[in-house]
Amino acid sequence: MTIPPAVTAARALVADLVTRGVQDAVLAPGSRSAPLAYALAEAADAGRLTLHVRIDERAAGFLALGLSKGTEGSPVAVVTTSGTAVANLHPAVLEASHTGLPLILLTADRPHELRGTGASQTTDQVGIFGSAVRFAADVPAPSGVAGSSVAPASGAAPDAPPAPDLRDLRNIAARAVSAALGFRSGHPGPVHLNLAFRDPLAPSTPLPGPPADTEQEGYPRPDPPLVVPVLQQNFASPALPGDPARTVVVAGDGAGPEARQLAEARGWPLFAEPSSGATGGPNAIAAYRLLLGSTELAEDIEQVVVLGRPTLSRPVQRLLGRPDVAVTVVAPGAGPWPDAARNAAVVLPGLAPFWFEQDAAEEPQEPQPAQEPREFLARWQAAGARVAQVLRDVTSDDAVIGGPTALSVARAVAGVLGPDDLLVVGSSNPVRDLELALGLDGPGPAVLANRGLAGIDGTVSTAVGVALSAARRGLRTRALLGDLTFLHDVGGLLRGPDEPPVDLEIVVVNDDGGSIFATLEHGALAGTGNVASATFERVFGTPHGSNLAQLCAGYGVDHQLVKDVPTLRHALQAPSHGIQVIEVRVPRADRYEETQALARRVVEAAAQTR
C-alpha cells in the first residue's frame, strides 16, 4: 500500500509525540488537517493516546487546557485545520501562556506554493500567536523524498523551503516538546507547529494500524530528551528586607503548597487566593481582602513575600504598591514576575530550605511552641476568626431562608466538597465568593481556575478537560460558574456520542447578568436615578433572560433548578453521571448593598480584636 507523504509525515509526528509523553490530543475537524486526523485516530484505536473531538476550535483549545491543568502540566496536543480555525485557538493559547501550561498546537496549512494566492481557507498563519508561544516552527510540506530540497508540485514557489524528512520532523517535535515543558527556561507554555500538507491528504486504503513493536518504523523507542531539564538547586537567598515580625505571605494563582509551608514555618499570616494551591492551615486569614481594605491591621505590614500570581484583589494590589512595604517576589523560571505596582524590592528564583525552618534569619534556638503564635500573627488570626463567624452568620440556612445568595451558594459548594474533589471556579464573582467561603466548613476541595488572564472564555470546556483527566486519578470534579461565564462557553457542552465519558457537575449561579460590576465603582450608578440605572443595566448588568433548562436540553445535558441551599447540598452529595447542570437563581439588584453591608460588618468585627 502506498501512503501519501502527508499521511506518512503525520503518522511519524504523532508517533514521536506519543513517545515524548503526549497522552491526550484534541481534534477539531477539517480537510487540510486530515493527515493528522487519520494518524490520531490510528493511534487512539491502538490505545496509544486518548483522542477528543470537538466541533468548535475555541472549545477544543480550552478543553486541551483543562486536560493539561487536570494532569498538573502534562503536554496536550490540539489539532486544527487552516484559516480561522487557527485564530480560534488564540484565547486558550493566551491563557496557557500566562499560566504556564504546555499545549502543543498542530495547525494544518496550505503548502507554500498556495500561500498568498487567494486559495480557500488560506491566511498567514506563521507567527499568528506572537509572543504567546515558547517555540514556533513553520514546517514545509513533506515530499516523500528524504532530504529533498525542491517541492515536487508543479508551480511551486521558487523560494519554497526544502521538504523535511522524518528525521527532521522528529527533531522539530523534540524541540517543541522541550520548549512546551520549559526544560531549558523553567517557563513552560504553548508551542506552535504550523504544518503544511500537500494533496493527497488521505490514504487510498485504510491504514494498517501502528505496529505492535515500538522499534519498527513509525513508532520508535522513546528517545532521551533532546534538552535535559534544568536541575533545581538550593538558592542562596539574600536576607529579606523589612521586619520579619511584620511580614505576610501573599499566595496568588499557582503559588503551590510552598507558600503555606513558608507562612507556617516563619509564623507569618497567609493571604491565599482560592486557586493558589496554598489555602487552609492555621495561618490562613479568612476574608483577608476585606480586612486589608477596611481595617487598620494593614498599616502594620512592613514586608510581603509573594508567590504565584495575585490577580484577584484590589486591596492586595494596593498593599503591594505601598512605598512603605518591602515586597519580595519569588518567581522561578525565565518568565515575567508579577509586579504590577513596579514596587518589588527583591525578585528571587526560589527560596532556600533554611527559609522553611523556624527562626531562619536568627541565631539557632529552640522553636517556639505552635500554640504561642507571635503577636502580629495572633492579631490577624483573631480578626480572621471573627470575620469568619460573620461570614457563617450571613450565609447560614436561617439567614438565606428567603432564597440563596451567591455567597451562600459558594459556601455550600465549598463545604460539601473535600480534599478528594476538584473544583473549577469561574472568574468574576464566583471566585471572589469562593475566596470568602473557603475554610468556613473544613478544608474544602482543591481549586483550579483560569487566572492567567482572568477571563470567562472557555470555562465550561476547561472544566470538562479537568474532569476527564482528574478521573484517571480517582478525583471527582465540579464547577462553580456565573451565568454569563456559562453562556459564554455553552458550546463546551457539545460532545459527540463516541467521545470519552465524563462526569462533571456544573453549578451555575444565575443572577441574569454581570453582577461583578455591581461590586465595583460602577455599581454605585445602579441606584442613582432612572437614566443611570438604565445605563448600568444595559452596558454593565447585561441581563439576558436565557432559559438554561432549555439550553441544556438542546445539548442533551441534565439540568436541575434548586431553590434553596439544603437542596443544593443534597444535589452535590448525590451520585452523578455524565454532565449535569445545577442552576441556582440569586438576586442581582441587591449585590452592591450586600457588599457594602458585609464590609461594614467586617470592620465592626475586626475592631473587637484591638
pLDDT digits (tens, 9 = 90+) for 171-185: 999 999 999 999 989
| Alpha carbons 541 and 236: distance in angstroms, whole number | 51
Least confident of 32-41, 75-84, 117-126, 305-314: 117-126
Which class is domain 5-196?
A: alpha beta
pLDDT of residue 147: 46
Going from the C-alpha of 214 to that of each of 56, 71, 171, the distances in angstroms are 34, 25, 18
Cβ atoms 487, 546 nearer than 8 A: yes
> Other C-beta atoms within 10 Å of 266: how many?
23
3-state secondary structure 146-186: CCCCCCCCCCCCCCCCCCCCHHHHHHHHHHHHHHHCCCCCC
Closest CA to 478 of 446, 438, 436: 446
Q: Which of 389, 476, 477 is nearest to 436 (CA)?
A: 389
**What are the strands, taking DSSP E only, across 335-380?**
344-348
DSSP 519: G
Beta-strand relationship, 558-562 and 579-585: parallel
Burial 172-203 (b: 16+ CB within 10 A, else e): bbbbbbbbbbbbebbbbbbbbbbbbbbeebbb
How do residues 276-289 score in pLDDT, each as one tens digit?
999 999 999 999 99
Measuring CA to CA, which residue among 210, 451, 244, 520 is closest to residue 357? 244
Measured CA distances, 523 to 434, 483, 526 (Å): 21, 18, 5
Cβ contact 112:156 at 8 Å: yes
The answer to whether residues 103 and 148 touch, using CB atoms and an 8 Å cutoff, is no
Look at 201 and 229; give whichever has higher pLDDT: 201
451-469 residues labelled b (16+ CB within 10 A) or e (exposed): bbebbbbbbbbbbbbbbbb
CA atoms within 13 A on the CB side of 134: 30
* Neighbour tally for 77: CB within 10 Å: 29
Q: In this structure, is the dihedral angle defined by the CA atoms of residues 416, 422, 426 and 431, taken in order, positive or negative?
A: positive
pLDDT over 70 at 242, yes or no:
no
- Average pLDDT (8-29) is 95
> What is the C-alpha to C-alpha distance for residues 583 and 550, in angstroms, rounded to an integer?
12
Of the pLDDT bands very low, low, confident and very high (cuts 50, 70, 90), residue 209 is confident
Measured CA distances, 263 to 250, 313, 315, 371, 570 (Å): 9, 20, 20, 15, 36
Count CB-CB contacts under 10 A for residue 496: 9
Within 10 angstroms of residue 233's Cβ, the number of other Cβ atoms is 9
pLDDT tens digit sequence for 329-388: 999 888 889 999 999 998 988 888 878 876 544 443 333 433 344 899 999 999 999 999
Task: Map grid coordinates 491504514 to a residue.
Answer: 207
pLDDT beyond 70 at 484: yes
Q: Which amino acid is residue 123, in one-letter code?
A: T
Return the pLDDT at 526: 67
Q: How large is the average pLDDT for residues 538-546?
A: 90
Q: What is the chain's mean pLDDT, rounded?
A: 87
- Domain edges within the chain: 5-196, 244-360, 396-607
- In the numeric block, the cell 521586619 is attached to 243
Give the per-residue pLDDT at 301.
94
Does the structure show a pLDDT above 90 at 157?
no
DSSP for residue 341: T
- Alpha-carbon span 532 to 193, nearest angstrom: 50
Q: 150: alpha, beta or left, given left = phi > 0 and alpha = psi -120 to 50?
A: beta
Tens-digit pLDDT profile for residues 520-533:
777 776 655 566 67
> Which residues have CB under 8 Å from 242's CB, separation 6+?
302, 303, 325, 326
- Is the pLDDT assigned to residue 568 strictly greater than 70? yes
Question: Are 5-196 and 244-360 the same fold in CATH?
Answer: yes
What is 244-360's CATH number, 3.40.50.720, 3.40.50.1220, 1.10.10.10, 3.40.50.300?
A: 3.40.50.1220
Report the pLDDT value the prediction gives residue 365, as an integer from 0 to 100.
Answer: 39
Contact assessment for residue 269 and residue 377, using Cβ atoms and an 8 Å cutoff: yes
Q: What is the pLDDT of residue 538?
A: 86
Give me 609's grid cell: 480584636
Cβ contact 416:572 at 8 Å: yes
CATH for 396-607?
A: 3.40.50.970
User: At a CB cut-off of 8 Å and minimum separation 6, what does 201 contact?
Assistant: 4, 6, 7, 31, 32, 34, 35
- pLDDT tens per residue, range 38-63: 999 999 999 999 999 999 999 999 99
Buried-exposed string 57-72: b where 16+ CB fall within 10 A, e elsewhere: bbbbbbbbbbbbbbbe
Asked if pLDDT for residue 223 goes beyond 60, the answer is no
pLDDT score for 215? 47
pLDDT digits (tens, 9 = 90+) for 29-40: 999 999 999 999
Q: 240-260: buried (b, 16+ CB within 10 Å) or exposed (e) per residue?
A: bebebebbbbbbbbbbeebbb
**Per the omega criterion (within 30 degrees of 0), is the bond before 206 cis?**
no
Q: How far is CA 414 from CA 128, 179, 384, 506, 564, in A?
A: 40, 36, 18, 13, 16
